[in-house]
């Protein structure tokens, strides 16, 4: 019998609409409507038509009242797969957010021409080459259903059969993928950025035919993105590669999820409800029972916690392969120069055979400038932002508003001479160019990243995270500015630095020297001995001591003072550890941070969610009734924020 009632999810961020509504299915479309289809439905109050997704088809409704008819079937393609809906619902509940906000990350905008072409295309089929997992002592356990593994990547480079140099980790991804594909299942690979994506796609070329590979990446053009998404709806084996939203890709027969470098900040979703790739993957693993692999060069503190509670199994490479790392400590070496003589020497020798990577903390020429006489930081006349010099010989520019300060003058002492306080990549490039005349110097930074460089002698100055891959690897890696990177005020800074250095070290040719300048102590030792798991364990112990995440969970509650107070007051004090704040925010609101144990998560989320719903309906537009300032939402929640100031 054909279904008469459709339960739909309204595509709206409004909290009050975050539940399923029942609609009658008109007979004209009854035989074409399927679960997952996009439909348009009337919302009587407002008399408007809303976009919605069919989540369930039944014969009866528990709603006592007349059901409205579905207005229109947008398309027969079931774009909201049942497993994606379940995950969206769970993820939203966990973060006290709206399911449709998560669905927006999961389902790309419809592209009619692409959809038409996809429906007319031949069903795809392709071949898979199964590769053994190399470099690890293991049976099939890593990709077995339900297995959860923190997998330490092998910090080397390798060549594909096509002769392209890629990170060894990408080959591991391809090997794991080949097993899942051979079993007829799908695998999702979520990576931080497109450069990682390209490495994975290169590694996959020799594992699966292109028909079985989908790229789902929010930064792609809309048409390509939609096509990649639609291909995931096909049954059968498939490898799905993308950035953080890839964890929400449709995959009915999901065999495994791999998250590469889970501590990379690009895995932190900036859109509400701000759920991290790792957390979404954990939810999806629970829902589908697939395998979940956190693969990285350094163990994240969060992964370490999962290992320590027994939820994850740690797996290391078969042999202890690590880069050849040396530390130069100014305190003991008596060499306070930014580039100590030992590092100069190593670079000079290495340049005979190939490229040398120089990692620096900041882009630009002089990222920090000050008055030569009184040392007051140079600020923009127009907006007060900090001035910086982006290129040699150019006037200072405001880092905030972009205004040029052509005739700068110190506000304090009227001096006009500038002091260049710090060196950026441009200035390092200039200095190295002088020191090694005739040598090519290449700069790569976040604004203008270079993806690959040839296997020829060159100095490659790069900000952390933007390091190009050198064909065949670097002959030497110099990590400068370690002390400057560490000076940043952030809870995660030590493990971030370890990760940045380790990822750069993994780009070296086997046996090539990697030199970390100016960092000693526990962190330097952890890097030199390649013991990030032990470091993460210590870090986690410290955070337990202080009740900092991820030893505890947090939620920041921000907005109007009284709304924040009311929301926090709803919580039973037995549910949480403590409340920090409220403290004033620059926008006039306040913020409180609640710290609680993992077990209390569902209850806290439920309670705060109720506060958000009430707040969104009850108190609306303030004193400015007509055309005035519409104040930002008066109550905002953010769970497990990584950038909490402490």
Partner DNA sequence: AGCACGCCGACT
Partner DNA sequence: GTCGGCGTGCTC
What is the contact surface with DNA in residues (CB under 7 A)?
14, 16-17, 21-24, 41-48, 61, 63, 65-68, 616-620, 625
CB of 15 to DNA, least distance (A): 8
Return the number of the residue (97 or 524) whose C-beta is nearest DNA.
Answer: 97
Nearest CA to 72 out of 47, 44, 50, 104 is that of 50
CB of 98 to DNA, least distance (A): 11
Please check whether residue 89 is in contact with residue 33, taking contact to mean a CB–CB distance below 8 angstroms: no
CB of 17 to DNA, least distance (A): 5
CB of 231 to DNA, least distance (A): 34
Residue 197, phi-psi category: left (phi > 0), alpha (psi -120 to 50), beta (remainder)? alpha
- DSSP per residue over 425-473, as a string? HHHHHHHHHHHSTT--EEEE-SSS---EE-SS--EEEEETT-PPEETT-
Which regions of 123-282 does DSSP assign to beta strands (E)? Answer: 148-152, 157-159, 165-167, 186-190, 213-216, 238-242, 254-260
Q: Is 481 strand, coil or helix?
A: coil
Return the number of the residue (64 or 643) whose C-beta is nearest DNA.
Answer: 64
Return the number of the residue (63 or 598) whose C-beta is nearest DNA.
Answer: 63
Nearest CA to 527 out of 497, 498, 503 is that of 498
Helical H segments across 385-437, by residue range: 425-435
Return the number of the residue (510 or 606) whose C-beta is nearest DNA.
Answer: 606
CB of 610 to DNA, least distance (A): 13
| Contacting residues for 437 by C-beta, under 8 A, at least 6 apart | none
Q: Is 55 strand, coil or helix?
A: strand
Cα–Cα distance for residue pair 342/333, rounded to 1 Å: 10
Cis ω for the linkage preceding 91 (within 30 of 0): no
Residue 15 structure tokens: 């909290």
Return the number of the residue (44 or 113) whose C-beta is nearest DNA.
Answer: 44
CB of 44 to DNA, least distance (A): 3
Q: How far apart are the first and last CA of the chain?
A: 60
CB of 9 to DNA, least distance (A): 12
Return the number of the residue (152 or 635) whose C-beta is nearest DNA.
Answer: 635
Return the number of the residue (17 or 386) whose C-beta is nearest DNA.
Answer: 17
Which regions of 337-447 does DSSP assign to beta strands (E)? Answer: 356-360, 369-371, 387-388, 397-398, 418-420, 441-444
Return the number of the residue (10 or 281) whose C-beta is nearest DNA.
Answer: 10
Return the number of the residue (221 or 623) whose C-beta is nearest DNA.
Answer: 623
CB of 66 to DNA, least distance (A): 7
| Contacting residues for 203 by C-beta, under 8 A, at least 6 apart | 160, 166, 170, 171, 173, 174
CB of 25 to DNA, least distance (A): 11
């Amino acid at each position: 019998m054909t279904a008469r009632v459709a339960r739909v999810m309204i595509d709206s961020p409004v909290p009050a609409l975050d539940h399923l509504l029942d609609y009658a299915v008109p007979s004209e479309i009854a035989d074409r409507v399927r679960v997952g289809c996009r439909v348009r439905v009337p919302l009587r109050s407002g008399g408007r038509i809303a976009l919605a997704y069919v989540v369930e088809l039944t014969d009866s409704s528990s709603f006592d009242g007349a059901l409205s008819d579905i207005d229109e079937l947008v398309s027969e393609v079931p774009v909201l797969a049942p497993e994606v809906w379940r995950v969206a619902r769970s993820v939203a509940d966990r973060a006290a957010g709206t399911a449709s906000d998560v669905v927006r990350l999961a389902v790309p905008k419809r592209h009619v021409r692409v959809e038409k072409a996809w429906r007319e295309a031949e069903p795809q089929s392709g071949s898979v080459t199964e590769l053994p997992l190399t470099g690890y002592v293991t049976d099939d356990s890593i990709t077995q259903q339900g297995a959860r593994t923190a997998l330490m990547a092998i910090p080397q480079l390798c060549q594909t059969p096509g002769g392209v140099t890629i990170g060894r980790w990408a080959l591991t991804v391809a090997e794991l993928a080949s097993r899942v594909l051979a079993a007829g299942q799908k695998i999702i690979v979520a990576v931080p950025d497109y450069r990682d994506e390209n490495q994975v796609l290169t590694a996959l070329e020799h594992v699966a035919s292109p028909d079985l590979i989908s790229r789902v990446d929010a930064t792609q053009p809309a048409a390509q993105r939609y096509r990649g998404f639609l291909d995931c709806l096909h049954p059968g084996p498939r490898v799905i590669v993308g950035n953080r939203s890839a964890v929400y890709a449709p995959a009915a027969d999901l065999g495994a999820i791999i998250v590469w470098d889970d501590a990379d900040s690009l895995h932190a979703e900036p859109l509400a409800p701000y759920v991290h790739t790792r957390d979404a993957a954990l939810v999806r693993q629970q829902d589908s029972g697939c395998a979940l692999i956190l693969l990285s060069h350094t163990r994240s503190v969060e992964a370490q916690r999962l290992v320590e509670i027994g939820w994850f199994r740690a797996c290391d490479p078969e042999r202890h392969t690590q880069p050849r790392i040396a530390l130069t400590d100014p305190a003991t070496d008596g060499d306070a120069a930014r580039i100590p003589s030992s590092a100069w020497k190593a670079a000079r020798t290495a340049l005979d055979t190939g490229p040398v990577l120089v990692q620096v903390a900041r882009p630009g020429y002089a990222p920090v400038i000050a008055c030569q006489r009184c040392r007051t930081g140079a600020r923009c006349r127009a907006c007060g932002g900090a001035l910086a010099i982006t290129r040699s010989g150019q006037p200072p520019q405001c880092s905030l508003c972009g205004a040029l300060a052509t005739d700068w003058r110190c506000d304090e002492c009227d001096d006009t001479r500038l002091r260049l306080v710090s060196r950026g990549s441009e200035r390092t490039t200039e200095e190295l160019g002088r020191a090694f005349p005739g040598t090519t110097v290449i700069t790569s930074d976040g604004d203008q990243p270079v993806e690959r460089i040839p296997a020829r002698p060159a100095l490659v100055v790069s900000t952390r995270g933007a390091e190009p891959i050198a064909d065949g690897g670097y002959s030497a890696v110099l990590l400068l500015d370690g002390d400057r990177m560490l000076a940043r005020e952030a809870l995660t800074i030590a493990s971030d630095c370890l990760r940045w250095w380790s990822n750069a070290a993994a780009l070296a040719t086997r046996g090539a020297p990697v030199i970390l300048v100016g960092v000693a102590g526990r962190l330097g030792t952890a890097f030199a001995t390649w013991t990030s798991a032990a470091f993460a364990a210590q870090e986690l112990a410290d955070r337990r001591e202080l009740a900092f995440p991820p030893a505890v969970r947090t939620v920041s509650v921000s907005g109007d003072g009284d709304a924040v107070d009311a929301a926090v007051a709803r919580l039973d004090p037995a549910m949480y550890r403590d409340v920090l704040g409220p403290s004033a925010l620059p926008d006039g609101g306040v913020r409180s941070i609640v710290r609680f144990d993992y077990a209390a998560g569902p209850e806290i989320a439920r309670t705060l969610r109720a506060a958000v719903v009430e707040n969104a309906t009850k108190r609306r537009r303030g004193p400015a009734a007509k055309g005035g300032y519409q104040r930002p939402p008066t109550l905002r929640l953010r769970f497990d924020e990584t950038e909490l100031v402490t």
